[in-house]
């Protein structure tokens, strides 16, 4: 202990420590040499150090008298505490000093030896022995040896009570330290019980305005924060800040620390602007009063950087963290736990910025250094490993992420126990990776374990429990159990709103998750309502340029596209793209999301398709550059670009791209990964549009078998593939098969997805056409009228699906010889398609072809022939002469020409 103090005094010329701090340290060491505490007695050294401290002999004598008269266990600590109240003395972090100088094991052996020597020379319950035992317990705590630390402090408390009673400051201090150990162990209820007991005793014996009482208040608030009781914690810390500021003044280090603690809680409450204001005040005041290199100042810099990151100001966060890293290395050295934590924060910022290589490089260095300094299984090292696994996951390196997460989980079970919150966090991280890998069964199994353990250990309304529930809802959504997913997600939204408040980030995140479930169910209006709520609150709290705000804008844009609200969808997508591009750069992940969203809006409207294609190509190529061709986001980008090709009837281009995407996904993610099966289903649909009906049928049947085995027959993905198979049977004119399959899928879709879901409407459309082509025209008309009504209501009157149903009804009217009704409906459909998709789009050409048939039925043969000839020409251009549509319409044109004598 004295060696540590001597080293800091001798190193004072490095200017890394404030001069007043060194003088106070010299006075402490002077007392130690006079008493012979922790070192051999030396009056000569004591006098020299007293002179260096700037204190008088009278001041020293008074302090010594206090020590000699006191029977308090931590009497020396009380002297130190009185010096600390002046704001000029900092606690000596013995553990960090020992680690930094590579003498930890030596120091431990010396402390243990001193304890044994004092026990032999003095009473076993001597105050000096308990001081050394407290130091030993603190070192064990820092090492992550929490059970050993717990045992030591439990013993100290018992001895303190026997020596001086429960109400002594030493017993209370030990109780508060043991409480902090329980907090690290994840035993939050026990931690709270001890801390509250200690706080009540301090209020009773010292008064509410005593510094120790205020420190106890802050510790209880810290425990409440861990329990997710942010509002209660904020109220307590506001009280502590106001009291200590009034006592010591706004610039005292303890006042600044109180402000900093309050700012952290504000940040966790989502009150980011208030947190920023407080942290800026703390940082600037600390710089001016204590100096830029003071540890309090460094902490304030890191806290402000964290708030900037939460506000989406990653560049400002990075600037502060780079500065903090440099200062940490000057003050503490490169190989110091505080420096490692600083570098880890910088790696987190790089990860947010998608600077994967830099983030990974820093994280690997931190892990290696922590292993060397703290040990293979120290909790801090395991936390750094978990952060590295997240970096791997974000890059799509899912196998590496899973292997690392399994390693961390096993180590945390051994070191911390199966019920520790950090162990549960490891399990939750692994669940996310399973979800990314579409391994839904292990995700569900592990997710249920996390939820049940969190509920049992932390409580039903703890934020970690609610997060586990939200993750479970996502797993059920992935499995296609949409009703179950909706029920759980709704419960989470209700609970987080009650516990955290409507504006809390976790509440908004849960609302966005519920909106995703609504989208998968085809409940577009419900999704829109929730997403608008989230967007409004995030805009108010975070601003309209925050990444989270832009993310929900992009989601809302896609929802609006499904509702046919293309103008607003386009406006939102443009804002996301331009804002992200301007603030974050061309290659930022959010910029690419905005670009993909805008391209999808153009594609859904059938306009600016060349521009949409260019944007999709840019997104795909940029993601390949940043993430590698094997990343899931790249495969998704290929699928989106293929859709844009298909919208332009570029079926061959779409086929080549989907073959490439399927091959990549099969090799990197596996033949049975959901992304691979999605690619195969899209490829089968493309073959159908190319007229390769048998090939499409075979691929759909194989995909359906695999999806049924992996996800079940009633999963939305399985159901969608079955409906597309029904459409393929339509092309093959296998109307009995169409009817049989469509009756089954319509019942399932209504039950599973709801009456207005796209799967339900598509299945009903297949069934209506089966009725029409088997002569059940009245049944077909009734079904198609219902379809048009639902489609107009949910998607809008000009949505392409609505137009398709109008065309099918017009065709059915024609079969019933209701030509006037058929013409009016078909002409309206053609006009909408021309306006929204262009006169050369395949769907518009089909409208023209259908109208020609109606005119033919009306006896308007010349107009019908001219319109059909125009359709043949356009089909040849868009689909090619060998496409079944082109071949079929060409044969009809020849037949009509012959009939008309042309």
Q: Please give the pLDDT value at position 72.
A: 44
Residue 193: exposed, middle, or buried by beta-carbon count in 10 A (0-12, 13-18, 19+)?
middle
Element (H, E) at 29: helix 19-35
Q: pLDDT tens, 688-707?
A: 988 889 999 999 999 999 98
Q: What is the mean pLDDT of residues 838-857?
A: 86
Angle at CA 372, nearest 5°, toward 367 and 377?
Answer: 65
Least confident of 13-27, 336-350, 762-776, 788-802: 13-27
H helices, E strands: number in the chain: 44, 0
Q: What is the mean pLDDT of residues 488-510?
A: 89
More confident residue, 62 or 645: 645
For residue 392, how many C-alpha atoms fall within 13 Å in the half-sphere facing its CB? 21
What are the tokens at 357?
Answer: 């290589």
Q: Tell me: pLDDT of 750 over 90.
A: no
Q: Please give the pLDDT value at position 93.
A: 58
Q: Please give the pLDDT value at position 837.
A: 72
Q: Please give the pLDDT value at position 572.
A: 93
Q: What is the mean pLDDT of residues 8-35?
A: 69
Q: Do residues 317 and 308 touch, judged by C-beta distance below 8 A?
A: yes
Mean pLDDT for the chain? 84
Q: pLDDT tens, 317-355?
A: 999 999 999 999 988 888 888 899 999 999 999 988 878
Q: Please give the pLDDT value at position 76.
A: 36
Residue 673 DSSP code:
S
Angle at CA 16, nearest 5°, toward 6 and 345?
Answer: 115
Nearest CA among 57, 38, 39 for reference residue 48: 57
Angle at CA 819, nearest 5°, toward 814 and 821?
Answer: 100
Q: Tell me: pLDDT of 173 over 50.
A: yes
Q: What is the mean pLDDT of residues 534-544?
A: 90
Q: Do residues 356 and 391 touch, judged by C-beta distance below 8 A?
A: yes
More confident residue, 53 or 450: 450
Q: pLDDT tens, 610-637?
A: 898 999 999 999 988 888 887 888 888 9
What are the tokens at 330?
Answer: 């000057």
Which SS3 state, helix, strand or coil, does residue 289 take? Answer: helix
- Highest mean pLDDT among 4-18, 96-110, 837-851 belongs to 837-851
pLDDT interval class at 122 (50, 70, 90): low
Nearest CA among 161, 417, 133, 345 for reference residue 141: 133
Q: What is the mean pLDDT of residues 8-27?
A: 67
pLDDT interval class at 506 (50, 70, 90): confident
Nearest CA among 519, 514, 515, 454 for reference residue 487: 514
What is the sign, positive or negative, of the torsion defined by CA atoms of 50, 56, 62, 63?
negative
Which SS3 state, helix, strand or coil, does residue 198 take? Answer: helix
Which SS3 state, helix, strand or coil, does residue 686 take? Answer: helix
Q: Do residues 466 and 448 touch, judged by C-beta distance below 8 A?
A: no
Q: What is the mean pLDDT of residues 377-388?
A: 91
Q: Tell me: pLDDT of 503 over 70.
A: yes
Nearest CA among 447, 451, 407 for reference residue 431: 447
Q: Please give the pLDDT value at position 391.
A: 92
Q: pLDDT tens, 755-782?
A: 887 888 999 999 999 999 999 999 999 9
Q: pLDDT tens, 567-581?
A: 898 999 999 999 988
Q: Please give the pLDDT value at position 699.
A: 93
Q: Tell me: pLDDT of 89 over 70.
A: no
More confident residue, 487 or 606: 487
Q: Tell me: pLDDT of 71 over 60.
A: no
Least confident of 155-164, 480-489, 579-588, 607-616: 155-164
Percent of the chain with pLDDT over 90: 33
Q: Please give the pLDDT value at position 223.
A: 84
Start-to-end CA span in the chain (Å): 110
Listing DSSP states for 174-203 in one string gives HHHHHHHHHHHTT-HHHHHHHHHHHHHHHH
Contacts with 165 (C-beta within 8 Å, 6 or more apart), sequence order: 171
What whole-number distance in Å separates Cα of residue 474 and Cα of residue 476? Answer: 5
Residue 434 DSSP code:
H
Q: What is the mean pLDDT of residues 666-671?
A: 82
Q: Please give the pLDDT value at position 124.
A: 54
Instruction: Give this prediction's pTM.
Output: 0.71
């Amino acid at each position: 202990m004295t060696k540590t103090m001597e080293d800091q005094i001798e190193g004072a010329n490095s200017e890394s420590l404030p001069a007043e701090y060194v003088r106070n340290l010299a006075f402490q060491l002077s007392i130690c040499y006079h008493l012979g505490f922790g070192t051999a007695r030396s009056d000569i050294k004591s006098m020299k150090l007293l002179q260096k401290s700037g204190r008088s002999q009278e001041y020293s004598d008074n302090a010594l008298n206090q020590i000699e008269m006191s029977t308090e266990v931590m009497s020396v600590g009380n002297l130190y505490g009185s010096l600390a109240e002046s704001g000029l003395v900092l606690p000596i972090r013995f553990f960090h000093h020992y680690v930094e100088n590579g003498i930890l094991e030596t120091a431990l052996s010396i402390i243990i030896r001193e304890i044994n020597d004092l026990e032999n020379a003095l009473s076993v319950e001597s105050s000096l022995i308990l001081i050394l035992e407290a130091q030993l317990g603190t070192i064990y705590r820092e090492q992550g040896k929490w059970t050993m630390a717990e045992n030591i402090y439990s013993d100290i408390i018992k001895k303190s009570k026997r020596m001086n009673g429960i109400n002594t400051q030493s017993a209370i201090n030990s109780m508060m330290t043991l409480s902090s150990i329980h907090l690290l162990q994840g035993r939050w209820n026990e931690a709270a019980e001890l801390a509250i007991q200690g706080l009540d005793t301090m209020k009773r014996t010292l008064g509410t305005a005593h510094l120790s009482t205020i420190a106890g208040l802050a510790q209880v608030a810290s425990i409440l924060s861990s329990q997710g009781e942010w509002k209660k914690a904020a109220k307590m810390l506001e009280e502590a800040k106001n009291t200590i500021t009034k006592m010591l003044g706004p610039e005292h280090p303890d006042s600044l620390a109180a402000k900093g603690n309050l700012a952290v809680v504000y940040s966790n409450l989502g009150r980011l602007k208030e947190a920023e204001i407080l942290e800026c005040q703390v940082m600037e005041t600390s710089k001016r009063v204590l100096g830029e290199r003071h540890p309090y100042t460094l902490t304030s810099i890191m806290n402000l950087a964290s708030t900037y990151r939460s506000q989406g100001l990653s560049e400002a966060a990075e600037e502060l963290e780079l500065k903090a890293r440099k200062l940490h290395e000057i003050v503490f050295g490169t190989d110091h736990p505080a420096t490692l934590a600083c570098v880890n924060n910088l790696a987190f910022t790089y990860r947010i910025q998608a600077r994967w290589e830099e983030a990974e490089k820093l994280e690997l260095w931190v892990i290696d250094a922590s292993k060397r300094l703290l040990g293979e299984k120290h909790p801090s090292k395991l936390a750094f490993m978990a952060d590295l696994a997240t970096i791997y996951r974000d890059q799509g390196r899912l196998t590496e992420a899973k292997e690392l997460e399994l390693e961390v989980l096993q180590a945390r079970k051994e070191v911390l126990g199966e019920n520790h919150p950090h162990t549960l966090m490891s399990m939750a991280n692994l669940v996310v990776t399973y979800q990314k890998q579409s391994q839904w069964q292990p995700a569900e199994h592990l997710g249920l374990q996390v939820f049940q353990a969190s509920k049992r250990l932390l409580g039903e309304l703890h934020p970690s429990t609610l997060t586990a529930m939200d993750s479970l809802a996502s797993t059920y959504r992935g499995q296609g159990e949409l009703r179950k997913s909706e029920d759980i997600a709704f419960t989470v939204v209700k609970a987080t709103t009650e516990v955290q408040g409507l504006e809390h980030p976790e509440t908004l995140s849960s609302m966005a998750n519920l909106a995703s479930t609504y989208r998968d169910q085809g409940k577009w209006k419900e999704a829109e309502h929730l997403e608008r709520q989230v967007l409004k609150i995030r805009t108010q709290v975070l601003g309209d340029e925050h990444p989270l705000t832009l993310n929900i804008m992009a989601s809302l844009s896609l929802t609006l596209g499904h509702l046919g609200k293309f103008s607003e969808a386009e406006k939102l997508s443009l804002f996301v793209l331009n804002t992200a591009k301007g603030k974050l750069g061309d290659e930022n992940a959010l910029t690419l999301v905005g670009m993909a969203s805008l391209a999808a809006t153009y594609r859904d409207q059938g306009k600016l398709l060349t521009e949409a294609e260019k944007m999709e190509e840019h997104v795909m190529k940029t993601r390949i550059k940043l993430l590698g061709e094997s990343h899931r986001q790249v495969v998704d980008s290929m699928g989106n670009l293929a859709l844009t090709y298909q919208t332009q009837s570029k079926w061959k281009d779409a086929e080549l791209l989907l073959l490439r995407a399927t091959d990549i996904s099969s090799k990197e993610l596996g033949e049975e990964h959901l992304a691979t099966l999605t690619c195969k289903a899209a490829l089968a649909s493309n073959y159908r549009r190319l007229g390769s009906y048998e090939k499409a049928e075979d691929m759909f049947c194989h995909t359906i078998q695999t999806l049924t085995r992996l996800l079940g027959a009633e999963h939305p993905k399985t159901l969608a593939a079955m409906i597309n198979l029904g459409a393929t049977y339509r092309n093959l004119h296998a109307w009995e098969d169409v009817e049989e399959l469509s009756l089954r899928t319509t019942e399932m879709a209504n039950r599973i997805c709801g009456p207005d879901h796209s799967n339900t409407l598509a299945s009903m459309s297949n069934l209506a056409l089966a009725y029409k082509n088997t002569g059940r025209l009245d049944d077909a008309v009734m079904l198609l009228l219902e379809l048009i009504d639902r489609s107009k209501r949910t998607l809008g009157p000009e949505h392409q699906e609505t137009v398709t149903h109008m065309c099918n009804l017009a065709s059915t009217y024609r079969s019933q010889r209701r030509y006037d009704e058929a013409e009016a409906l078909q002409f309206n459909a053609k006009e909408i398609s021309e306006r929204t998709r262009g006169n050369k789009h395949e769907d518009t050409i089909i409208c023209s072809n259908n109208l020609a048939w109606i005119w033919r039925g009306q006896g308007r043969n010349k107009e019908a022939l001219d319109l059909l000839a125009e359709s043949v020409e356009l089909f040849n251009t868009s689909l090619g002469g060998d496409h079944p549509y082109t071949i079929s319409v060409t044969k009809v044109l020849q037949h009509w020409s012959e009939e008309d004598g042309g």
